[in-house]
Amino acid sequence: MDSSTEPRFIPLVSYREYMPDEMQARATAFREEMQRRRSVRHFSSRPVSREVIEECLRAAISAPSGANLQPWHFVVVTDPDIRREIRQAAEREEHEFYHGRAPQEWLDTLAPLGTGEIKPYLEVSPYLIAIFAEAYRLAADGRRLKNYYVSESVGIATGFLLAAIHHAGLVALTHTPSPMGFLCKILGRPENERPYLLLVVGYPADDAVVPEIEKKAFGEVVSFL
């Protein structure tokens, strides 16, 4: 093994152990906080400190990833002209989706959420965060080097980001117009990246509403063996 690739280890000093009762209380408090999180489609234009968004992103990029390759890139968009261009491109794709591309079964599944092709929140909210997955990286000599478990890694980082945004007191919406290739062009991303999703972030509008839906029961989705 090349000495430059030999593993190096350091003591685990960041771990904190809690007494069982405190552990239970922390687990319950976190569960209750995350159960208050909702996907929101009605946003306020009220400004949000860039420092808050940066801290949320720092939490996201601390996520574990396959071989620690961190195959993600987050583009934070506030420029109104770019946001308008993104909205126009997204709505074109959404129009094709809702008026021909999507099978009826898919449209029936979406119906309880009240979604549609018009996406004003892409311009109203103070932040859009475009998340890109890096399929491969380039070596110094130009060779393509494979990244491993890309979707899984970016998904975990996105989960961290959603939790951090909610914990900070903001709301978010995961938006996935299909296809999303226009994001690469508009945002000038390299060919080794593909759009993963578009995250809308901000405060909810004063008159915001959310669909009346339920999560599956615990026993439906969890098994102990």
Could you tell me the two tokens for 201?
A: 């972030």
**153 close to 61: Cβ distance less than 8 angstroms:** no
Predicted TM-score (pTM) above 0.85: yes
Q: Is residue 173 part of a domain?
A: yes
Q: Is residue 8 part of a domain?
A: no
Q: Is residue 23 part of a domain?
A: no
Q: Is residue 142 part of a domain?
A: yes
Q: Is residue 11 part of a domain?
A: no
Prior bond to 179 cis, omega within 30?
yes
CATH number at residue 50: 3.40.109.10
Closest CA to 196 of 142, 129, 143, 139: 129
Q: Is residue 21 part of a domain?
A: no
What pLDDT does residue 3 have? 54
**Could you give the number of structural domains in the chain?**
1
Q: Is residue 29 part of a domain?
A: no
What pLDDT does residue 212 have? 95
Round to whole Å and give the CA distance between 58 and 53: 9
Left if phi > 0, otherwise alpha if psi is -120 to 50, otherwise beta: which for 160? alpha
Closest CA to 131 of 52, 60, 41: 60
Q: Is residue 91 part of a domain?
A: yes
Round to whole Å and give the CA distance between 161 and 145: 27
pLDDT block averages, 10 residues each, the chain of length 225: 77 97 98 97 98 98 97 98 97 92 91 92 98 95 95 98 98 92 96 96 97 95 97
Placement of tokens 């109104």 in the chain: 80
Domain around 97 = 45-204
What pLDDT does residue 178 have? 81
Round to whole Å and give the CA distance between 56 and 59: 5
